[in-house]
């Protein structure tokens, strides 16, 4: 009864808040409480760094989105203990899961329920998140809670798919769930623009945030995982949604979050995509200037104090072209001709530099620099998934993963694209004097490719035959290549001062599985072939990125030690 009373009071308060117009920039600034009265042990952002009790906080972390689905407390405790033993100090989880209609699912595994269009918070699911925070606090760890997901493809109610609900990272509901429950058949970008949909999301925020706002183990609230106009397959956009649409929504939502919890940080959760020619809704004042010459050129340490520009990205393209030219020219077997060096046709091909690629031109409907300057966003975030997005600034592709995939002959380009991506975001963070968090990095290898399910799909990519999912030839050829890529990106992130470095996704073995007295998601949908939160072998979910091998884990353990060392904390 007490919980119900609190929820009722919260919803009454919400009705007054959401009726107000969107906050102005002045209101947003006021809502963004200064950190001088923050409780002890809370993480905050100041002078371009994360801090705890006045001391720098650099960290490495991991994403265990599935942790809320593990149905025994012992498995949660074991997972967090093992993560802490790997010197990973922040764990990122999905703090949401919506179910539609009546269900026999374990109540601890979902946070909201929609029945005939009516939205209900589920206290048992929120209590599960509280337990995770309690256990993390015992281990001196922090938990980053993502509040919804951009990716929510349709899952049939009685699916017999290999990967049932609650197993994949995109099977927890999300943006499309809100839209389809309120406006069936509506364009999915109504999530960002329609008052009824936005208020439904704020109703959810008002349900969960006040219950956790006093917990010092909470690292930050993430407005959404990878918000964009475009989403899962089968969902349309109005055609008017763009980067500014996402920026406006982020400003409005983060300001609302700050009214509920001024003591914890708010982050966008965006993928870090640039829009170099976009008009800024939150421009730097005074306008930023660029100094130190062309930034980010290979072999140089240029500086910039403002926005990344198209010209700068093109300089980066030229630098990579020159590096590829030199590498091909010096490669074993390269022959000299009378007129000079003649590269084999397959060794090097100059790219068309007229474009700058979708990671930089706004094609992904995100302007990470505009988002970073929102007063109620405390730090800049970015991700790196070269199997699913194009990051290389070569102008040869317009959308999707690079032709031929991220591995194979493209592997070196993939590694270099990651280096440039990290460099650009480190420079962005410095220019805006906010810390930056690489919230996820993932690269599929051959061992896990059979389980690779793109964020926008419910099917294993290599098994798709109907053309709705792009077939994937994007894998590294060996574990050693994957490890080299992870090691290169993590080491570079440390050297460039990235405050937080998080891998994707945590692999955990020897889980006990569900409580036999409760009916699991998988029991309902797959005749018990999988335990909730783990597979039939007691191993955590794998959507193509699971990290289990000690070799790979050691890379991020080393990163965790390095980050602890920069913070002056004991690395064990």
Residue pLDDT, tens place only, 103-124: 888 899 999 999 998 999 999 9
Instruction: Give the per-residue pLDDT at 298.
Output: 39
Q: Tell me what the pLDDT averaged over the chain comes to.
A: 81
Residue 40 pLDDT greater than 60, yes or no: yes
The answer to whether the peptide bond before residue 475 is cis (omega within 30 degrees of 0) is no
What number is the average pLDDT over the span 364-386?
96
- 160 within some domain: yes
Total count of domains within the chain? 1
Residue pLDDT, tens place only, 297-313: 333 444 677 899 999 99
What number is the average pLDDT over the span 216-237?
90
Residue 335 pLDDT greater than 60, yes or no: no
Bridge partner residues of 476 (DSSP): 445
Residue pLDDT, tens place only, 63-107: 999 999 987 899 999 999 999 999 999 999 999 999 999 988 889
pLDDT > 70 in the chain, percent: 75
What number is the average pLDDT over the span 171-180?
94
What number is the average pLDDT over the span 370-393?
93
Q: What share of the chain is helix, strand, coil (3-state, %, to 5)?
A: 35, 15, 50
- What are the φ/ψ torsions at residue 380 (nearest 5 degrees)? -90, 140
Instruction: Give the per-residue pLDDT at 33.
Output: 47
Q: If pLDDT is split at 50, 70 and 90, which confidence band does 286 have? A: low
DSSP structure class, residue 226: S
Residue 444 pLDDT greater than 60, yes or no: yes
Residue 368 pLDDT greater than 80, yes or no: yes
Structural domain range at position 215: 49-285+304-331+341-462+471-520+554-567
Separation of alpha carbons 454 and 294, rounded Å:
36
- 391 within some domain: yes
- 390 within some domain: yes
Contacts of 95 (CB under 8 A, 6+ apart): 68, 111, 129, 145, 146, 147, 208
Separation of alpha carbons 54 and 42, rounded Å:
10
Separation of alpha carbons 102 and 115, rounded Å:
7
Quick one: CA torsion of 171, 174, 176, 178, rounded to 10 degrees?
A: 130
- For CA atoms 276, 279, 281, 285, the dihedral sign is positive
What number is the average pLDDT over the span 512-536?
46
Instruction: Give the per-residue pLDDT at 46.
Output: 95
Query: What secondary structure does DSSP assign to 159-208, as a single string?
Result: ---SS-TTTSTT-S--HHHHHHHHSTT--TTHHHH-HHHHHHHHHHHHHH
Residue 249 pLDDT greater than 80, yes or no: yes
432: number of Cβ within 10 Å: 21
Instruction: Give the per-residue pLDDT at 166.
Output: 79
* Runs of H (alpha helix) within 373-467: 411-432
Sheet containing strand 55-56, edge to edge, reads 43-46, 49-52, 55-56
Q: If pLDDT is split at 50, 70 and 90, which confidence band does 329 have? A: confident
- 265 within some domain: yes
- For strands 59-63 and 90-94, give the pairing: parallel
- 542 within some domain: no
Residue 503 pLDDT greater than 50, yes or no: yes
- 28 within some domain: no
- 538 within some domain: no
Separation of alpha carbons 144 and 201, rounded Å:
19
What number is the average pLDDT over the span 44-50?
96
Instruction: Give the per-residue pLDDT at 212.
Output: 97
pTM of the model: 0.86
Q: Do the beta carbons of residue 218 and residue 133 sit within 8 Å?
A: yes
DSSP structure class, residue 450: G
Comparing 233 with 437, the larger pLDDT belongs to 437
Instruction: Give the per-residue pLDDT at 268.
Output: 98
384 by DSSP, 3-state: which?
Answer: strand
H or E element in which residue 492 lies: helix 479-495
Separation of alpha carbons 309 and 294, rounded Å:
10
- For strands 142-146 and 218-222, give the pairing: parallel
Residue 484 pLDDT greater than 60, yes or no: yes
Instruction: Give the per-residue pLDDT at 22.
Output: 40
Q: If pLDDT is split at 50, 70 and 90, which confidence band does 518 have? A: very low
Q: Which CATH number does the domain housing residue 115 bear?
A: 3.20.20.80
Per-residue b or e along 154-183, where b marks 16 or more CB atoms closer than 10 Å to that residue's CB: ebeeeeebbbbbbbbbbbbbbbbbbbbbbe
Residue 540 pLDDT greater than 80, yes or no: yes
Separation of alpha carbons 442 and 384, rounded Å:
7
Instruction: Give the per-residue pLDDT at 227.
Output: 97
What number is the average pLDDT over the span 131-147?
98
- 263 within some domain: yes
């Amino acid at each position: 009864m007490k919980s119900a009373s609190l929820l009722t009071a919260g919803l009454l308060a919400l009705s007054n808040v959401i009726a107000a117009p969107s906050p102005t920039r002045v209101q947003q600034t006021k809502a963004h409480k200064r950190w001088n009265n923050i409780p002890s042990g809370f993480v905050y952002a100041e002078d371009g760094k994360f801090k705890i009790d006045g001391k720098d906080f650099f960290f490495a972390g991991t994403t265990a989105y599935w942790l809320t689905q593990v149905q025994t407390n012992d498995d949660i405790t074991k997972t967090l203990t093992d993560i802490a033993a790997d010197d990973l100090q922040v764990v990122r989880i999905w703090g949401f899961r919506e179910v539609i209609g009546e269900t026999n699912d374990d109540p601890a595994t979902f946070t909201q329920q929609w029945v005939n269009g009516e939205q209900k918070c589920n206290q048992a699911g929120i209590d599960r998140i509280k337990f995770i925070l309690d256990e993390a606090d015992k281990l001196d760890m922090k938990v980053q809670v993502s509040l919804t997901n951009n990716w929510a493809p349709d899952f049939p109610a009685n699916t017999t798919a290999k990967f049932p609900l609650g197993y994949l990272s995109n099977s927890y509901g999300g943006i499309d769930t809100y839209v389809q429950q309120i406006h069936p058949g509506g364009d999915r970008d109504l999530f960002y623009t329609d008052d009824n949909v936005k208020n439904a999301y704020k109703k959810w925020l008002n349900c969960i945030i006040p219950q956790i706002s006093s917990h010092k183990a909470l690292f930050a609230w993430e407005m959404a995982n990878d918000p964009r106009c475009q989403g899962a397959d089968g969902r349309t956009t109005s055609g008017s949604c763009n980067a500014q649409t996402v920026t406006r929504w982020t400003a409005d939502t983060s300001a609302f979050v700050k009214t509920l919890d001024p003591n914890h940080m708010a982050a966008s959760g965006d993928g870090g995509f640039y829009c170099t020619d976009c008009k800024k809704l939150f421009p730097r004042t005074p306008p930023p200037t660029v100094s130190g010459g062309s930034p980010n050129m290979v072999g140089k340490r240029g500086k910039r104090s403002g926005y990344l520009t198209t010209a700068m990205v093109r300089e980066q393209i030229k630098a990579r072209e020159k590096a590829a030219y030199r590498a091909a020219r010096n490669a074993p077997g390269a022959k000299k001709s009378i007129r000079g060096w003649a590269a084999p046709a397959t060794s090097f091909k100059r790219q068309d530099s007229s474009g700058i690629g979708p990671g930089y031109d706004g094609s992904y409907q995100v302007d990470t620099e505009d988002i970073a300057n929102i007063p109620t966003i405390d730090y800049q975030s970015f991700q790196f998934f070269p199997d699913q997005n194009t990051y290389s600034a070569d102008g040869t592709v317009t959308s999707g993963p690079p032709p031929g995939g991220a591995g194979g002959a493209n592997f070196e380009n993939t590694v270099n694209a990651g280096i440039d991506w990290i460099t650009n975001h480190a420079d962005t963070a410095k220019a805006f004097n906010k810390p930056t968090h690489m919230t996820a990095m993932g690269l599929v290898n051959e061992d896990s490719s059979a389980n690779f399910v793109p964020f926008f799909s419910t099917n294993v990519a290599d098994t798709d035959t109907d053309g709705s999912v792009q077939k994937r030839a994007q894998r590294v050829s060996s574990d050693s290549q994957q490890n080299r890529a992870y090691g290169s990106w993590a080491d570079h992130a440390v050297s460039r001062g990235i405050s937080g470095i998080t891998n994707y996704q945590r692999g955990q073995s020897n889980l006990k599985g569900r409580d036999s007295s409760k009916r699991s998601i998988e029991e309902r949908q797959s005749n018990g072939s999988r335990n909730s939160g783990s597979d039939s072998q007691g191993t955590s979910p794998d959507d193509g990125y699971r990290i289990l091998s000690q070799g790979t884990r050691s890379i991020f353990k080393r990163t965790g030690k390095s980050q602890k060392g920069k913070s002056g904390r004991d690395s064990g």
